[in-house]
Structure 1
Amino acid sequence: MGKASPFQATWSWRPFVACHLLALVLLALWLWEPSRALMDHFDFSLHHSLNAPLAEHSVWRGIWAVASTRPFDALTGLIMLSLLIRGDWVFKAVQTRAAIFGFLASLLLLLAIRFLYSSLCSHLGWQHDSISIYAADDVHLSQLFPSWDDTPFAIKDESARSFPGDHASVLLLWALFLCLFARSALQWLAIWGLALLFMLPRLVTGAHWGQDDYIGGMQVALLSLAWSCFTPFAAWSSDRLVRLTRPLFELLAKIPLLNRLSVISTRRLG
């Protein structure tokens, strides 16, 4: 694909198969009753340790209430995007445009895979309610901030269809995607630290079980990564999107300050 693309337009069979096998192993562990019981016990303990402090600390409640809203999700998306397009961090400056388009292509696959998987879960009776519905003495932030209902700041702390974790699947795909190209342990720590941090709000409020994320979300992310980055799909999609949007970026490159961004600068594309 040339130096301006980080992707290879070939099938990488070993990681492709490995992603599918790992997703199947996670599913088998989740369906096997002994391991599922351990997961349930772990998730209740995890949720209690995260949720119980909300009853005692008003500032802590406010922080997690804000973090459980759609505007905070948008802020999370901006942070994820900024790290994707930051030149010479994970991706070389010349590769940032192709990288962002490749990730967008991966996201499209994730939406399709998640829809199919969620439909399968509903059909097979694997779907379940949020842990907040089952946990005793659960602190429901939506009840503590009722004035936020019917506003953009409505708090999500329960759902009748919490598996797999859609929020977590996007974060996990982002982390796996970046780690394919990360070059240092510090980058890995920063990427996974942010991914886990941004997954916490849904776990604190009880909107999701832990297994919705580390089983369901990870399965969706692995399959999305496999079919995008270990096939020619990401390379093919990013190459065509780069070509299609070239006139737009040439116009944007004429705007002062904006043209200093790696993803926009035409000089960096050579």
Structure 2
Amino acid sequence: MGLRNLPAILLLNVFGIGLFLSWYLPENHGFWFPIDSSIFHYFNQHLATNSSFLKLVAITNNRAFDSVSLLAMGLLFLYFFVKQDAAGKRWMIIMGIVMLLTAVLLNQSGRLLPVERPSPTLTFTDINRVSELSGIPTKDSSRDSFPGDHGLMLMIYAAFMLRYFTRWAFCIAVGYVIIFSLPRIMVGAHWFTDIYVGALSMACVGLSWWLLTPASDATINFINRSIPGKGKPGN
């Protein structure tokens, strides 16, 4: 599997590294900064003039709203889970655990990047802060927003959907990436490039070596064989 997928792995690595360097190397992030700035100011200007938009952004960036994204991912996972026999359900649970471990490890790897970048709300002056305007507790700032950890988690989920389930499940999961990462951009807790450069480049490089080689399968199968219980291989 690994050798057969080597061209795809290398292509994803070239894309991911190139994407990161296109942002990291130029002074003041080159052409990416005007994009980041325009997107931030577009949403930020409407916070003070549109009360409905302000409430929407405040609610979707409240910590409690994170449960909605977890529920959406859980329901898609459940759709496949209920169709499995005992062995299949056991395998899916183990795969889910491996997916969570992958997310933790890849997210921690992102902390090793030589970047420390405050969010737009801590970079620009004379801007609107959702927490101040709405009175609703929100995550509207970050002292180190790159790469976007929330977006990275969603991308990892989408990649696992593509690797182990169906293309339509992947398309739904990509929708989750867009829908559930957008509030962080609208509120100014993340730059656009925190997610679509930082998180995406991390996902392309890290997940290509994990999901397109035997590594993830071997890990899932090892755990499956090692843990006793109903549905264990060989029982």
TM-score bracket, normalised by the shorter chain, equals 0.7 to 0.9
3-state secondary structure, aligned to 1:138: coil
Displaced runs of 4+ in structure 1, greater than 6 A? Answer: 8-11
Deviations 1:227-258 (A, max 9, x none): 321232321232244455663xx5xxxxxxxx
Whole-angstrom CA distance in 2 between matches of 1:194 and 1:117: 21
Shift of 1:127: 1.3
* C-alpha displacement of 1:83: 0.9
Question: Corresponding residue for 1:135?
Answer: 124
8 A Cα contact 1:65 1:155, kept in partner: yes
Residues 217-256 of structure 1 mapped to structure 2, 5 A cutoff: 217-243=199-225, 247=229, 250=230
Distance in structure 2 (CA, Å) of the matches to 1:137 and 1:189: 39
Between the aligned partners of 1:239 and 1:225, the Cα distance in structure 2 is 18
Q: Secondary structure at the match of 1:120?
A: coil
- 1 CA distance for matches of 2:92 and 2:9? 19
Native 8 Å contact 2:69 2:176 kept in 1: no
In the alignment, residue 35 of structure 2 is paired with which amino acid? F
CA distance in 2, matches of 1:223, 1:92: 32
Whether 1:104 and 2:81 are equivalent positions in the alignment is: no
Identical columns (%): 24
Aligned to 1:194: 176
Q: RMSD value over aligned CA atoms?
A: 3.0
* Letter in structure 2 aligned against 1:196: I
For residues 134-177 of structure 1, give each alpha carbon's deviation from its aligned partner in whole angstroms, at most 9, with x where no partner exists.
3354321121344x5xxxxx411111111111111011111222
Counterparts in 2 of 1:93 and 1:141: CA distance versus 1, 3 Å: same
Asked if 1:210 corresponds to 2:192, the answer is yes
1:53 to 2:46 alignment: yes
CA distance 1:246–1:18, change in 2 (3 Å): farther
Aligned partners of 1:10 and 1:232 also within 8 Å? no
| Change in CA separation of 1:16 and 1:100 when aligned onto 2, cut-off 3 Å | farther
Counterpart contact for 1:54–1:139, Cα < 8 Å: yes
Structure 1 residues not aligned, in runs of 5+: 1-7, 149-153, 251-265
**What are the ranges of 5 or more consecutive residues in structure 2 without an aligned counterpart?**
none
User: Which whole-Å CA distance do the structure 2 matches of 1:157 and 1:86 have between them?
Assistant: 34
